[in-house]
Structure 1
């Protein structure tokens, strides 16, 4: 069994000294992977139900610091050498797929191949609204963005034409 540690970069865990201490201690004590989740925006009074708790509310307060997972994991990569790193999860339909492909590939290079990109589609309609991204089509958007990112990673030069993105 391999054991990982989640919630890096949230609340008090968003301070550089805490990330450094947790990442190095986890590596020293044989943890397999560090996970860092994402919410670009949390709202004070969400109408959307959080699907992973009985009361429908996320346990993280809206005013808690929540670092960008790719940047926080890049910092963790710089202070470690063996432990694997993963986004758990990056809300892909909220992002530009070309930029995410570049950032994920950069983190993978800087971590010497230790990074795994975990993506999800999100649950908060308010978060999508704050970003100007349609909530209703997030699943289709995520599938297309993954296809576009795979094209970027596999083709040189790359091209892609879809409903939500093209290059």
Structure 2
């Protein structure tokens, strides 16, 4: 089982260029970072975690700028979005950003995606929350065409363009892996468009039956990465019994000295399961 970190990069926490090398030094294999372009002042959508929306959501760095900075100071670390809000992103621009990250990192990009939860945020990007699932599916299909075809084109209800040239192409073939985030409602998207399922803080008791249902939907053995897990050895042992591919420890967004303390704890716990 592999171990990485999921976190929010903000202007108040550790710098990306400090975190990346610290993760590699401790043998952690991946970094997945969150995305929010903005948070509307008038928001009716409840925070999925309950209570007040944490400040980190208001202050996230652009994920591809941040991951490019990490790429420049690391050699092995996998660089993932956890998750990129495709529902709020132009597919042509996003295809170029992911491919550029994959190129400059030497093939280390992971494209973690989801449909989002903040309806007011996505509405400010011109997205109708009621049709966001269909929109995301089309954008992902279009992005894959842009990555893999010399002359890419796509014609759908929400995405429509005639043949275009788009470079760079990703280093990874056929393209960087797409990790689809979400609950069981995302299983058809995982089956059709995903290379892995990014399960969000799902308990081991829930995860086992969900993996079986995912395999039934997909008709294949889908790799599973679990987002935002606690560094509790007892809980991790239960995940290990489910044969998940990777666990992402949740790293609080705090200054560098406190961050390094968390990473030492993560490395110590991960070492017990290698």
What is the TM-score when the length of structure 2 is the normalising length? 0.56
Runs of 5+ consecutive residues of structure 1 not aligned to the other structure: none
Distance 1:100 1:130 in 2: 18
Q: What is the SS of the residue equivalent to 1:34?
A: strand
Equivalence for 2:106:
112
Equivalence for 2:3:
3
Report if the CA contact (8 A) 1:32-1:84 is conserved.
yes
The answer to whether 1:160 aligns with 2:154 is: yes
Per the TM alignment, residue 130 of structure 1 is displaced from its structure 2 partner at its CA by: 2.0
Instruction: Please report the RMSD computed on the Cα atoms of aligned residues, expressed in angstroms.
Output: 1.6
The answer to whether 1:20 aligns with 2:17 is: yes
Aligned residues: 161
Per the TM alignment, residue 151 of structure 1 is displaced from its structure 2 partner at its CA by: 1.0
Per the TM alignment, residue 127 of structure 1 is displaced from its structure 2 partner at its CA by: 0.2
Runs of 5+ consecutive residues of structure 2 not aligned to the other structure: 162-274
Distance 1:153 1:132 in 2: 25
Distance 1:115 1:2 in 2: 16
Larger Rg: 2
Q: What is the SS of the residue equivalent to 1:119?
A: strand
Structure 1 runs, 4 residues or longer, greater than 3 Å off: none
Range with greater deviation from structure 2 (151-160 or 106-115): 151-160
Structure whose residues are more often strand by fraction? 2
Residue correspondence of structure 1 range 37-56 to structure 2 within 5 A:
37-51=34-48, 53-55=49-51
Per the TM alignment, residue 44 of structure 1 is displaced from its structure 2 partner at its CA by: 3.3
Per the TM alignment, residue 4 of structure 1 is displaced from its structure 2 partner at its CA by: 1.1
Per the TM alignment, residue 45 of structure 1 is displaced from its structure 2 partner at its CA by: 4.6
Q: What is the SS of the residue equivalent to 2:152?
A: coil
Range with greater deviation from structure 2 (85-94 or 38-47): 38-47
Equivalence for 2:53:
58
Deviations 1:122-144 (A, max 9, x none): 10111012222222111100000
**1:98 aligned residue (77, 92, 99):** 92
